[in-house]
Amino acid sequence: MRRCNSAVTVVSDKGQVVIPSYLRRKLDLKPRSKLLVYSVEDIIILKKLTLPDMKKEMQQLWKEINKKIAKYGEMTEGEIQSVIEETRIQRRKRSKGA
């Protein structure tokens, strides 16, 4: 059985709510953390959102691209267009088969 923690907080004039420090620490909530707010009848639920770090993802993507360029060389614009067209053809085939 899950143990449930509860606390009382107050809504400010600006509509702000303080999340108790023990919950912020437990959930690793930092300033600017994103929370999804649900409303069910008279209940408000806050859920921590874990969003991907786009900067890290793009750096990783470029690292992979650079590896492929080093291994295979750069693609010409015509080769890129050819790959795009082939991908579109494959998607059309899949969507017709679905």
Q: Does domain 1-50 have CATH number 3.10.20.90?
A: no
Which residues pair with residue 40 across a beta bridge?
43
Residue pair 24/6 in contact by the 8 Å Cβ criterion:
no
- If you search the block for the tokens 């470029």, which residue do you land on? 62
State residue 25's pLDDT score: 94
CB 19 within 8 A of CB 9: yes
> Above 90 in pLDDT, residue 77?
no
pLDDT tens across 57-74, in order?
A: 888 888 888 888 888 888
- Average pLDDT score over residue span 25-40: 93
Helix (H) or strand (E) holding 97: helix 77-97
Please tell me the predicted confidence (pLDDT) of residue 1.
60
Q: Following CA atoms 74, 78, 79, 82 in sequence, which dihedral angle do they give, to the nearest 10 degrees?
A: 160
In 3D, which of 4, 38, 41, 30 has the Cα closest to residue 19? 30
- Counting other chains too, the contacts that 59-65 makes at CB distance below 8 Å and 24 or more residues apart are none
What pTM, to 2 d.p., does this model score? 0.49
The full set of domain ranges for the chain reads: 1-50, 54-97
